[in-house]
Amino acid sequence: MGSVGRQRVQRAVADLPERQRRIIELRFGFDSEPASLETIGKELGLTRERVRQLESDAPARRQLALRGEPASAAVHPPDHHAPADRAMGFCFFNNVVLAARAALASRRQGKYLAFHDALMESKVPLSNQNVFAIAANIGLDVARLKRDMNDPQIATILEHNFALADALHINGTPSFLIGNVLLRGARDLDSMRALVAQARKRG
């Protein structure tokens, strides 16, 4: 990891809970070489999957992406057991946040719904190049979009959404909150209608 990447991660993990901070430190090789999920699991008494979950849920990674910093390029921790999967996971998260920032910024040009639909229907990875190509195709001013994406208000909105998801323990999609019922995973239309009807009855 380069010195710039190290500084970014150190700033981002400063306020994490101790166990999550230790996982990030080990994964990024703060002490020595980056550690595998199995090695970290043995040190902390956790399963490989639990380590992966805690690493993926760490707000530090979100902070890097929300600031527009290339976490996957600057501070990518290798996983000797599944390098392709780990790289894909980092890139996927950053691409999703990029697309979300762009979608929120597109509201200032009055094209949120059109852009949102185009992103959802896209068959290509939502890389920087592809997101901005989609934006151009629906008539967005890409230069203005990029400027608007860097507005701190955009990051604040996404941070609020992440905080709400954390409070509700939502860690995957799709998830639905209907009244006071939290649903994880897809549901058929009839079930959804029934839950909406029940919520309406309860007021």
Helix 59-66 with 83-106: angle, nearest 10 deg: 50
81-112 confidence digits (pLDDT tens): 444 444 334 444 567 788 999 999 999 999 99
> Per residue in 47-74, pLDDT tens?
888 887 777 666 555 555 555 544 333 3
Percent of the residues in the chain that have a pLDDT greater than 70, as a whole number:
70
For residues 88 and 65, give the distance between their C-alpha atoms in angstroms, rounded to a whole number: 15
Listed in sequence order, the residues at least 6 apart from 106 whose beta carbon sits closer than 8 Å to its beta carbon are 112, 115, 116, 135, 140, 145
Q: What is the pLDDT of residue 73?
A: 35
CA torsion 30→34→36→37, rounded to 10°?
Answer: 30
Provide the CATH topology of domain 3-167.
Arc Repressor Mutant, subunit A (1.10.10)
The pTM of the whole model exceeds 0.75: no
pLDDT, average across residues 170-196: 86
SS3 content of the chain, % helix, strand, coil (to 5): 65, 5, 30
- Give the integer Cα–Cα distance in Å for 163 and 179: 19
Quick: pLDDT tens for 8-45: 556 666 767 788 888 877 876 766 677 788 888 898 99
Q: Which residue did the predictor score with more confidence, 106 or 128?
A: 106
Domain ranges in the chain with CATH number 1.10.10.10 = 3-167
Q: Where are the strands (E) in the chain, listed by range?
A: 175-178, 181-184
User: What pLDDT shows up at residue 64?
Assistant: 52
Other Cβ atoms less than 10 A from the Cβ of 178: the count is 16
What is the Cα–Cα distance from 163 to 159, expressed in whole angstroms? 6
